[in-house]
Amino acid sequence: MSEDIVEPDLDDLQRRMDGAIASLKTEFASLRTGRASASMLEPIMVESYGQMTPINQVGTVNVPEPRMVTVNVWDKSLVNKVEKAIRESGLGINPQLNGTIIMLPIPELNEERRRELSKVAGTYAENARVSVRNVRRDGMDQIKKGKAAGMSEDDQKLWEGEVQELTDKMIKSVDQSLEVKQAEIMQV
């Protein structure tokens, strides 16, 4: 075999596919399932001192009880901005002020809202599948370049099989994560 033939970097493909899975899990964590979770506030950005800042950098986020999240804002002047950011975040939570502490009672999810969240979870999962398939396409492109550089047909088939096997494993992982999340959302 010639030294100038480029073989696909399976470790790189694996790392990039793992990144898509990790991103999916982060998105799933932000979906509200009727239980209080500090991670549900992670995507919320607050305008503080002229720039957008994550909510956990302007206050302490706690879960004192199963249906309550509290945000203890460190700077009194930011309390109203934090409250506004939470209200406008689309979480469907009505913040209650108590000095510098913002209390977020988590209401029980109704059937319609559970179905909506389940569809959102499905959308997140489909985005992750698309990301995995894009990485697969990059790997297949590397194989085509290798073939053009003189890679044997047997090697080409071997590498295509490896890339496809990796892709199938990752898609299965996405599907399993989606099933778990949808069961969690639909649980009353």
Residue intervals of the chain classified under CATH 3.30.1360.40 are 35-105
**Distance (Å, whole) CA 187 – CA 16:** 32
Instruction: Give the pLDDT of residue 34.
Output: 64
What is the chain's length? Answer: 188
Percentage of the chain beyond pLDDT 90 is 35
Give domain 35-105's CATH number out of 3.30.1360.40, 3.30.930.10, 3.30.1330.10, 3.30.750.24. 3.30.1360.40
CATH assignment of 10-28+110-186, among 3.40.50.261, 1.10.3720.10, 3.50.50.60, 1.10.132.20: 1.10.132.20
- pLDDT higher than 70, residue 6: no
For residues 21 and 177, is the Cβ–Cβ distance under 8 A?
yes
Q: CATH 1.10.132.20 occupies which residues in the chain? A: 10-28+110-186
Q: What pLDDT sits at residue 93? A: 79
The whole-angstrom separation of Cα 103 and Cα 72 is 9
User: For residues 102 and 28, what is the distance between their CA atoms, to the nearest angstrom?
Assistant: 24
pLDDT digits (tens, 9 = 90+) for 135-180: 999 999 999 988 888 888 899 999 999 999 999 999 999 999 999 9
With CA atoms as reference, report the closest residue to 91 among 62, 120, 66, 122: 120
pLDDT at 1: 43
Q: What is the pTM of this model?
A: 0.68
Residues 6 or more apart from 73 whose CB is under 8 A from it? 58, 59, 79, 82, 100, 101, 102
